[in-house]
Amino acid sequence: MMDKKRYLESKVDSLLTMFPVVAIIGPRQCGKSTLVRNLCPDWQYYDLERPDDYQLITSDPLGFFSRRRDRTIIDEAQQYPDIFKVLRGAIDQDRSGAGRYLITGSSSPDIVRGLSETLAGRLATVELWPFKVGELFDRPLSPLYRLLPGRQDSLDLLLDLRPGLNPDQIYEHWLNGGYPEPRIKSRQTPEFHGLWMDSYFLDYMDRDISRLFPGINRHAFRRFIQALAFHSGHILNQSQLARAIEVSSPTIKQYLDILHNTFIWRNLQSFEQNSLKKVQKMPKGFFRDQGIQHHLLKIRDTDDLLVHPGAGGSFEAFMIEEIIRGFQCTMLSGLDFYYYRTRDRSEVDLVVEGQFGLLPIEIKLGHKTDQRSLAGLKNFMADTGARMGIVVNNSERMELLTDNIIQIPSGFW
């Protein structure tokens, strides 16, 4: 049951034919170890969180890589940051060889910095996340991510699609999040989900944060995480947060960066490429897994969630993350993700930018979309020349709302 097919498998397979190293990064307990072992079951596997493997590699890294020149998996590579320098030398001895190493890393800014600075040009990096909703329910990746980049001028092709997920599945995943172990085990033992979340946060604070940032005020950082549960999915007032937590504004920025770099939180950047309007540049972000936010808010069922004052922001964050994950499963390059808001309150929840251009997306929790709520999309499209806009909501069918704005319900993603 834990070994569900992950959408990234085919992408990683393809990248292994192009690059000497493929790195899979992401939060703890999202399934990285399972993914690499399922992809390459006959490769030699080393886990740097196992004392024997750690001792074997760190005692003589040059000797290790002289023996292991290919078909090698190194799990939890952030435990030994110097490994990237040694790995670079091993790769440079045979730059033409592809598919030699698979490495994973989690909960560490060092893993991202080590990959980008030391192994630039020698590897491909992909991010794995907790289950996307379709993965949990054994559905194929939605064809939207293949059609949208190339078919923005042919909306009729999209109207023939059918949803792969029903509303109950969407709401269940929105409520509980996608971490594999609690989602699967709680089907038999419902109380396991909350107990797992408690343990996950203790481990995150005691194991990762204490090790990576030994000087941090853990009490203030814990209060900061609790406060963020009420702000996830919204533009953040850092000064207001700083006063509430009784720390400085620069400290709030540092805390946000820590959460982002340890894959718990996503900082969404402002789209600032509109010279016609004054754009608001305040930071916006959200928990990457809504199960974490709802656990912090002590929301236990869908009824409680739907009447919670933060439901709209939570659903927006959930769908933004689902959409970003879907695009990251493709072989598209140069993807960037933004939010957009002007000083006159014209707003778009998500802007996807790629070689195909700009794709603005507005997200609504409800089932109906009135024409007045399309003003932000229309303004953005008029200012930037975007050819198509999308509204995501919980309606039952896909339909055209205007000549170039299409409603695509959550079950299609």
pLDDT digits (tens, 9 = 90+) for 1-46: 457 999 999 999 999 999 999 999 999 999 999 999 999 999 999 9
How many domains are contained in the chain?
A: 2
Q: What is the mean pLDDT of residues 333-345?
A: 90
Give the end of a domain, one of 88, 103, 127. Answer: 127
Please check whether residue 4 lies inside any domain of the structure: no
329 CB-contact burial (10 Å; exposed 0-12 / middle 13-18 / buried 19+): buried
- Residues 285 and 147 grouped into a single domain: yes
| Strand residue runs (E) in 88-194 | 101-105, 123-127
CA dist list (Å): 277 to 23, 237, 351, 374: 40, 21, 16, 18
Asked if residue 261 lies in contact with residue 109, where contact means CB atoms within 8 angstroms, the answer is: yes
Rounded-to-integer distance, Cα 408 and Cα 323, Å: 12
Please check whether residue 337 lies inside any domain of the structure: yes
What pTM was estimated for this model as a whole?
A: 0.93
283 CB-contact burial (10 Å; exposed 0-12 / middle 13-18 / buried 19+): middle
- Residues 63 and 140 grouped into a single domain: no
DSSP 63: H
The pLDDT mean for the chain works out to 91
Q: What is the mean pLDDT of residues 220-227?
A: 94
Q: What percent of the chain is helix, strand and coil (3-state, nearest 5)?
A: 45, 15, 40
Lowest mean pLDDT among 155-159, 219-223, 244-248, 295-299: 155-159
- Residues 121 and 137 grouped into a single domain: no
Please check whether residue 3 lies inside any domain of the structure: no
172: its two tokens: 């269940």
47: its two tokens: 């886990």
Rounded-to-integer distance, Cα 293 and Cα 41, Å: 35
Rounded-to-integer distance, Cα 310 and Cα 141, Å: 29
For residue 37, the enclosing domain spans 9-127
Q: What is the pLDDT of residues 141-176, one digit of tens each?
A: 999 999 998 755 567 778 888 999 999 999 999 999
- Residues 308 and 205 grouped into a single domain: yes
Amino acid 154: pLDDT = 64
- Residues 29 and 61 grouped into a single domain: yes
Q: What is the pLDDT of residues 262-306, one digit of tens each?
A: 899 999 999 988 776 788 788 799 999 999 999 999 999 999 999
Amino acid 1: pLDDT = 44
Does position 63 have pLDDT exceeding 90, yes or no? Answer: yes
Q: What is the mean pLDDT of residues 327-354?
A: 93
Strand, coil or helix: 273: coil
Sign of the torsion angle spanned by Cα atoms 155, 160, 164, 166? positive
Rounded-to-integer distance, Cα 341 and Cα 350, Å: 10
Q: What is the mean pLDDT of residues 385-407?
A: 93
Q: What is the mean pLDDT of residues 319-339?
A: 96
Per cent of the chain over pLDDT 70 is 95
- Residues 39 and 176 grouped into a single domain: no
Q: What is the pLDDT of residues 94-133, one digit of tens each?
A: 877 899 999 999 876 666 666 766 777 788 999 999 999 9
Please check whether residue 2 lies inside any domain of the structure: no
Amino acid 391: pLDDT = 97
Amino acid 207: pLDDT = 79
